Amino acid sequence: MRRINLILSLALVLACACTNSEQKDRKLYVGIPELVPDAILEIRYFGTYNFVGERIDGYKAPTALLTKEAAAALKEVSDYVMAQGFRLKIYDAYRPQMSVDHFVRWAADIPDTLMRAYFYPDVDKSLLFVREYIMEKSGHTRGSTVDLTLFDMNTGKEVDMGGTFDWFGPESHPDFCGDPVTGEYFPDVAAKEPRGITEQQFRNRQILRNAMLSHGFKPLSTEWWHFTLENEPYPDTYFTFPVE
């Protein structure tokens, strides 16, 4: 009996230590709605419209968190695009490690292709690890990465980026049908691509990209919607507390 009580006591101590650590980590973050009230939230991993097709572990509320430093920079981006008639629309920001683990388990379950038609119709699911669409670690878990798009206040619609968030394919690359550094669009390339984007769609991606880069974020070469604070405060820390 004493041994059982000792084990239970140790488990309780460890649980409390973990909780206290997570609470301490959470204080390093801020909710995007608190600092960027003009942003629209569409937290895909809280719902079922995502590449898995169910709510992802760790998303306990339809909100978005960022480190205080990243959120402050995002506020500047928001003010900048608001002056041009746009609002930011957030799909994801901080992502706990338990969520990434959920993605990894799903990717290993090859027969589960519920959402393939919407997010990866051109890719065999067995290749998701090989092509690094799914990885065991994510920059989102460090807390200074955000997935987003633009919302046009004049039309009342999302800006047409020529592709959906979390599309697994080359169409999501910022350099698809153009050079994002020079801003040059390649119509000949677009004409040859089965899913080529228009010049306007390429320009729309550039509006978002330029806004983010001019306010301290850096892009990802494979996702037009993904940006990380260049001077992220916790580059080696992968946080575990849930989104709530």
CA distance 40 to 186: 32
In single-letter form, the type of residue at position 154 comes to: N
Helix, strand, or coil (residue 92): strand
Helix, strand, or coil (residue 222): coil
The alpha-helical segments, DSSP class H, found in the chain are 2-26, 32-35, 68-82, 97-108, 116-119, 187-192, 199-213
CA distance 89 to 103: 23
Which residues does the annotation mark as catalytic? 223
Burial of 159 (0-12, 13-18, 19+ CB in 10 A): buried
CA distance 60 to 147: 18
Tokens of 16: 């409390």
Tokens of 44: 């895909």
**CA-based torsion, 180, 182, 185, 189: positive or negative:** negative
The alpha-helical segments, DSSP class H, found in 109-143 are 116-119
